[in-house]
Amino acid sequence: MTDRVIPLADLRYAASLPRIPLIETPPTGLLGDTLGRPLRDLRISVTDRCNFRCSYCMPKEVFDKHYSFLPHSSLLSFEEITRTAKLFVAHGVRKIRLTGGEPLLRKNLEILIAMLSGLRTPEGEPLDITLTTNGSVLARKAQALKDAGLQRVTVSLDALDDTIFRRMNDADFPVHEVLEGIEAAQKAGLGPIKVNMVVKRGTNDSQILPMARHFKGTPVVLRFIEYMDVGATNGWRMDEVLPSAEVVARIGAAFPLEPIGANASGETAERWRYKDGGGEVGVISSVTQAFCHDCNRARLSTEGKLFLCLFASHGHDLRALLRGGHSDAQIAGAIGLIWQARDDRYSELRSAAGGTDAPGAEPRERRVEMHYIGG
């Protein structure tokens, strides 16, 4: 008997083999965790690779030419992703977001989108299928993505100034190509489009007003995200966090704003609209105003590890079940047990501790990197 060789990359993050329940209970769509939070949103990372080297996500000094990314054999196939997504839908998921890395680097992604767009809720309703991208190849892909069944895109864009943007993506990529991608997505009907800007004090906060001015009066919804302490490679410091309240104040001083309500329960963005009718902006206060209390998101990594929090350090190896001959009913049961035991609320605990690691956390605990499970 030949020993199975496990790539070192597969051992990058700790993962437990999920427990199969002794009695099979069909999913009801009413699954809740220990805090009563339902499962509604599944974020699927389709690749751990990216063509940008943004300092807050994949800094070049860590993710250089010597970095070992996951081998293709480790990645979930499109069939495995779709099978898993179907089981999550049975448990209550209504929205699927494809992430990365940069998801558009995954070859033939349109095939996966077509497969996922064929899924239906128990009530027969289609899912909300969306994707987050850095926009670098969106101009070439937008129409094919729409034709495959993708409904919306969110584009990451951290500056309009080309010099600042190139410095932040650290790949010398020009901003005009991302703007062309956004325009192509609009023409293809991938909307409403959201544009996310991660704000780092002293790095790109000078771009807040230029970004607001550029997208004001368009259908694009601009959202500002507080710089987060995800993973362990981005050198996060609290003094580089610009609170969302200050972002709103800066924009409101130039363009008066008024608050508006959330679109849905569990929405991460606080919404504001221009009083003159020029559209809306949002802020995601992941550091200064934690929203763990109604988080309804699960994250599936590129090679099939389920994480229950963006700041998790431990996953659950669903790929082992998918490739181990287990039935759909068994895997659905395992997913149910995992979610029912969920008690994650890292950001709330960090806030209670004054912005440091959560009370009781191991000081050397290695949290999962953002590029590995998406934002």
Q: Which is more confidently placed, 353 or 361? A: 353
Q: What is the pLDDT of residue 265?
A: 67
pLDDT greater than 60 at residue 353:
no
Where does the chain have alpha helices with state H? Answer: 78-90, 109-117, 138-148, 162-169, 175-188, 208-215, 244-254, 318-322, 328-340, 346-352, 370-373
Q: Which of 58-67, 70-79, 344-353, 359-368 has the lowest mean pLDDT?
A: 359-368
Task: State mean pLDDT over 319-327.
Answer: 96
* Cβ proximity of 155 and 134 under 8 Å: yes
The answer as to whether 219 is a domain residue is: yes
How sure is the predictor about 91, in pLDDT bands with cuts at 50, 70 and 90?
very high
Measured distance CA(51)–CA(58) in Å, rounded: 10
Is residue 261 domain-resident? yes
What is the overall mean pLDDT for the chain?
A: 88
Mean pLDDT, rounded, for 136-161: 98
What's the average model confidence in pLDDT over 32-43? 95
- The residue range of the domain holding 232 is 8-18+36-373
Instruction: State the total domains in the chain.
Output: 1
How many CA atoms within 13 Å lie on the side-chain side of 29? 10
The backbone region for 186, taken as left when phi is positive above 0, alpha when psi lies in -120 to 50, beta otherwise, is alpha
In a domain, 348, yes or no: yes
Domain annotation covers residue 3: no
Does a structural domain hold residue 118?
A: yes
Please state the rounded mean pLDDT for residues 180-188. 98
User: Is the Cα dihedral 70, 74, 77, 83 positive or negative?
Assistant: negative
Distance of CA 78 to the CA centre of its chain: 19
Banded pLDDT at 216 (limits 50, 70, 90):
very high
Q: Tell whether 27 is covered by a domain.
A: no
Among 14-23, 278-287, 302-311, 353-362, where is mean pLDDT lowest? 353-362
pLDDT at 6: 40
Per-residue pLDDT, 230:
61
Residue 233 pLDDT level (bands cut at 50, 70, 90): low
What is the β-pairing status of strands 194-199 and 152-156? parallel
Residue 1 lies in a domain: no
pLDDT surpasses 60 at 342: yes
Tell me, what CATH number does 185's domain have? 3.20.20.70
The band of 236, judged by pLDDT with boundaries at 50, 70 and 90, is low
pLDDT tens digits for 42-84? Answer: 999 999 999 999 988 888 988 899 999 999 999 999 999 999 9
249 has a pLDDT exceeding 80: yes
Averaged pLDDT, 217-231: 87
**Per-residue pLDDT at 14:** 67
As a whole number, mean pLDDT of residues 340-344 equals 91
Q: Worst-scoring range by mean pLDDT, 6-20, 73-87, 145-159, 178-192?
A: 6-20
Residue 28, domain member (yes or no): no
Q: What is the mean pLDDT of residues 364-370?
A: 62
User: Between 229 and 86, where is the model more confident?
Assistant: 86
CB-based burial label for 128 (10 Å; 0-12, 13-18, 19+): middle
Helix (H) or strand (E) holding 258: strand 257-260
pLDDT of residue 375: 62
Q: What is the pLDDT confidence band of residue 252, given thresholds at 50, 70 and 90?
A: very high
Q: What is the mean pLDDT of residues 89-110?
A: 97
